[in-house]
């Protein structure tokens, strides 16, 4: 992959800024579940006023939330906007990953597909050939707007302490843009400490801490280098590789809303058919497409309650 010399943030940077920020994802989760007022977010998340105010402002600026004001111009609510609603596929795949890989208790409820009535798992498929796309079928490479120098959101983030969250295993580790960047780089073939540092331009202290965290959480595994036995390589585990569908959907979402159609930052290709991957989700039981309003949770219509629908026109 060739790294661009331009420093302007690209679509992937916006995707990592949101998916790689635990507070932002928790606010979006609450928004999809129906929260819209400042006090509702604060009470549900136990978040400080300073952090909540900052995140609401940033998510509103990106169009993820849609601020609503009164006649005096004071913002009274932050309902989820169309860009935020379009994250439903990403959240659905995180939910599926948590069910498969998390040991958190109590476990998340099962998903039921309204169309066929079965408890199901969403499958990533290719909209070009209509066939399933496994992690081994996914080819990822930089596009014209790509390069790590343009894809890493800059600026520190206050980490969330203990508190409520729908996806604790995922958000506890991946809900940090440096962790997510290191994991994505590993999924793309980066292996050695020095290569991570030079590729991502990370400080040694942050990189060492992120690698330790990802190894301890089971996303990466340490292996002796084939070149020198005193060197370590960091390779994705099955647990880490299973997050590739989440990343593919996040990239597609970021490119749709923040990218340039003629100059994407990341190119996704389905190896089986050789065409560009247009991600869609299928029910693993009936193999029919899954839409937000079709997902039932404990006999309740989680997504339809808030009119969560996929964005069809740009799929």
Q: Among residues 218, 220, 154, which one has the least CA distance to residue 186?
A: 220
- Contact call for residues 47 and 29 (beta carbons, < 8 A): no
Q: Give residue 120's pLDDT.
A: 94
* Mean pLDDT confidence for 38-44: 95
- Contact call for residues 203 and 156 (beta carbons, < 8 A): no
Q: What is the DSSP string of 38-62?
A: HHHHHHHHT--HHHHHHHHHHHHHH
Strands 138-142 and 266-270: antiparallel
Q: Give residue 67's pLDDT.
A: 94
* Mean pLDDT confidence for 237-261: 92
Distance between first and last Cα of the chain: 26
Residue percentage of the chain with pLDDT more than 70: 84
Q: Give residue 165's pLDDT.
A: 57
pLDDT tens, 177-207?
Answer: 888 889 989 998 899 999 999 989 889 999 9
pLDDT tens, 5-19?
Answer: 445 789 998 888 888
Verify cis geometry, omega within 30 degrees of 0, for the bond prior to 106.
yes
Tell me the fold of 87-314.
Arc Repressor Mutant, subunit A (1.10.10)
Q: What DSSP designation does 221 have? A: E
Facing residues of 124 across strands?
Answer: 281
- Contact call for residues 241 and 118 (beta carbons, < 8 A): no
Instruction: Give the whole-angstrom CA distance, residue 148 versus residue 201.
Output: 8
Confidence band, pLDDT 50/70/90 cuts, at residue 122: very high
* Mean pLDDT confidence for 136-147: 91
Helices and strands per DSSP (H, E), number in the chain? 13, 11
pTM reported for the whole predicted model: 0.84
Q: Give residue 160's pLDDT.
A: 47
Q: Is 146 a residue whose pLDDT tops 70?
A: yes
* Mean pLDDT confidence for 287-305: 71
Q: Is 155 exposed, middle or buried (0-12, 13-18, 19+ CB in 10 A)?
A: exposed
Q: Is 300 a residue whose pLDDT tops 90?
A: no
Average pLDDT, the chain: 84
């Amino acid at each position: 992959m060739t790294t661009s010399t331009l420093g302007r943030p690209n679509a992937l940077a916006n995707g990592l800024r949101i998916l790689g920020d635990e507070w932002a994802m928790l606010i979006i989760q609450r928004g999809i579940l129906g929260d819209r007022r400042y006090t509702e977010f604060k009470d549900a998340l136990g978040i400080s006023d300073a952090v909540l105010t900052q995140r609401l402002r940033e998510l509103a600026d990106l169009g993820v939330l849609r601020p609503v004001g009164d006649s005096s111009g004071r913002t009274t609510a932050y309902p989820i906007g169309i860009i935020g609603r379009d994250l439903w596929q990403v959240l659905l795949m995180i939910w599926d990953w948590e069910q498969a890989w998390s040991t958190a208790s109590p476990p998340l409820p099962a998903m039921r597909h309204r169309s066929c009535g079965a408890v199901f798992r969403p499958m990533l498929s290719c909209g070009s050939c209509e066939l399933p796309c496994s992690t081994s079928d996914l080819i990822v490479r930089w596009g014209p707007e790509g390069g790590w120098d343009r894809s890493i959101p800059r600026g520190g983030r206050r980490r969330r302490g203990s508190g409520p969250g729908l996806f604790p295993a995922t958000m506890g580790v991946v809900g940090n843009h440096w962790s997510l960047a290191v994991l994505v780089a590993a999924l793309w073939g980066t292996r050695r400490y020095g290569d991570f540092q030079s590729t991502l331009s990370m400080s040694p202290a942050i990189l060492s801490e992120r690698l330790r965290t990802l190894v301890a959480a089971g996303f990466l595994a340490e292996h002796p280098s084939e070149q020198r036995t005193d060197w370590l390589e960091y390779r994705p585990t099955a647990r880490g590789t299973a997050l590739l569908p989440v990343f593919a959907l996040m990239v597609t979402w970021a490119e749709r809303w923040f990218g340039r159609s003629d100059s994407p930052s990341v190119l996704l290709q389905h190896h089986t058919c050789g065409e560009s991957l247009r991600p869609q989700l299928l029910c693993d039981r009936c193999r029919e497409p899954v839409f937000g309003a079709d997902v039932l949770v404990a006999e309740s219509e989680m997504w339809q309650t808030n009119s969560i629908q996929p964005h069809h026109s740009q799929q």
